[in-house]
Structure 1
């Protein structure tokens, strides 16, 4: 029985069948898989761009309004029709912005440094040492986070009043000397992720606990410490509640308390000079933006590496 000769392409698996004119050639499998990924990536980038516009537009509007005359403040133009710097001169003449900025910087630095150091010491104790009731005590520290801030306002005010510090900036930062439950938890999680071998070697070399903390733990957890500094600096810079309670003289005002005074004077209940209010808002917002960009690398690193071990 005779057999038909097989085509050369069928006999050799490495040779593809010839493509006739008019045939539809399917794209490779990798290319078909790559197309949905490109579509998903394009949708994600479009969503991120839209979110960026939503978050950046108010800042751009605020910056633009600070260079507009009173009649054009609310015209929603990002490029001012009439450009003027008179608003900045008016703000410096209408209020002691420079003094308020100095007060805010002092309070922010003291609040950020004290809470970082005190929280780091407590977190180091909970992470490195083994002692009885360590778990219940740490749970008690975390339980203080469940208390609303309004619950402790009156008792705290009475304490500072007995000390004669109401009307000064001390109550705005001195409470951070005792640490913060949130930062203690954050730093403890970072300390738990550190290897113990360098500390055991340092102990064999005769280093005490204080030396191991400052020479080993602090350099290794620098991203978490910078993250704590940035968080507390932002919280202290924008805090309005405590300045409203404790500050009475305009010479001791911080920026949020000063902005409240400007809104009362130039806002709807006053002279309705909104160009002054928005200009003061720009002057108080720019330092936080600069601080974030300066510490952005440590901020991202601290977010990504904190809490990886519990």
Structure 2
């Protein structure tokens, strides 16, 4: 019995030694990923003098908790926070509907030119978003939506990447499920809504988190179409704290830390489904 245990311990130690380089590499990668956030939190509790010191001071000498309170006096933080929430909810909700329908059509509905149209859709992913900003601005201006939340969210209602993810999610499901639903009397819409749609929750979660992250952090487009504080999202409000000759870096870091709290909550809630959805997107072509 003792020899069996000894052999088991030796095998376990050998296995741990074999994977030790991998664990060290993962630990180093984790430190590289986490350090910027930790440093940002420390900067939010520092003074501007400490932040701009050379060499930089990692741990502040005076913990400036008042920086967080000062943010609310410098910008209308809560109103801009709710603008960001509105933008994120609208974009995410509409994208989930449109991307699901588009992905289902490409995955299950044969029509002429489907391959060509899907190829063009993938080609959109290779076009930089900045290249069609002028066209988007002219469209929003002609619709009279400048300085409004709708002007910010309208160009983000469609996502080629979201359609691609949902198409791959539907492709990963067996065709027999849909055929059985139609034999039971379901029309195409009922087969989609009652059978197929509930089974692609990992894909929906992946589209949700990608859209939420993009919408919450979007800066360039809202910066172009909004100039009033009451219609600015939080990303633009934080950017306005950077002056031409000097910037309140400590306050900007404090505002950024507070703005990241909802994103962390959403990601940690949905991370399992997000990983499943992104993994599923590469199963079938």
> Is the TM-score greater than 0.5?
yes
Alignment of 1:45 onto 2:26: no
User: Which residue of structure 1 aligns with residue 161 of structure 2?
Assistant: 182
Q: What SS class does the counterpart of residue 111 from structure 2 fall into?
A: coil
- Confirm whether residue 281 of structure 1 aligns to residue 256 of structure 2: yes
The structure 2 residue matched to 1:206, chosen from 177, 181, 185, is 185
2:47 matched to 1:66?
no
The CA RMSD over aligned residues, in Å, is 2.3
| Contact 1:62–1:282 (Cα < 8 Å) also in 2 | yes
Deviations 1:103-160 (A, max 9, x none): 0011011111111210110110111112222211211222222322222111111111
What are the Cα deviations for residues 211-258 of structure 1, in whole angstroms up to 9, with x where unaligned?
111111111000001100100110111111101110111111111111
Task: Tell me by how many angstroms 1:34 deviates.
Answer: 7.7
Partner of 2:97: 117
Partners of 2:33 and 2:123 in 1: CA distance: 34
Residue 58 (structure 2) aligns with: 77
Partner of 1:152: 132
Higher relative contact order (CA 8 A, sep 6+): 2
For residues 116 and 196 of structure 2, the distance between their equivalents in structure 1, rounded to whole angstroms, comes to 24
Q: What is the DSSP-based 3-state SS (H/G/I as helix, E as strand, rest coil) of the residue aligned with 2:242?
A: helix
Q: What's the CA shift for 1:175?
A: 2.5
Counterpart position of 1:192? 171
The 5-angstrom pairing of residues 217-296 of structure 1 reads 217-264=196-243, 269-270=245-246, 272-296=247-271
Larger Rg: 1
Moved more, 237-246 or 39-48: 39-48
Alignment partner of 1:309 is 2:284:
yes
Offset of residue 33 of structure 1: 12
TM-score computed with the length of structure 2 as normaliser? 0.89
Residue 71 of structure 1 and its aligned partner are, at CA, apart by 4.0
Contact 1:111 1:172 in 2 (8 A): no
8 Å CA contact 2:165–2:278 kept in 1: the answer is no
CA deviation profile, 1:80-125 (whole Å, cap 9, x unmatched): 4433421111111111011111000110111111112101101101
Residues 118 and 176 of structure 1 are in contact (CA less than 8 Å); yes or no, is this contact kept in structure 2? Answer: no
Structure 2 unpaired stretches of 5+: 1-6
Mapped partners of 2:47, 2:156: distance in 1: 42
Aligned match of 1:94 in 45, 62, 74?
74
Other-structure match for 2:33: 55
Larger fraction in helix: 2
Whether the 8 Å contact between 1:61 and 1:76 is mirrored in structure 2 is no
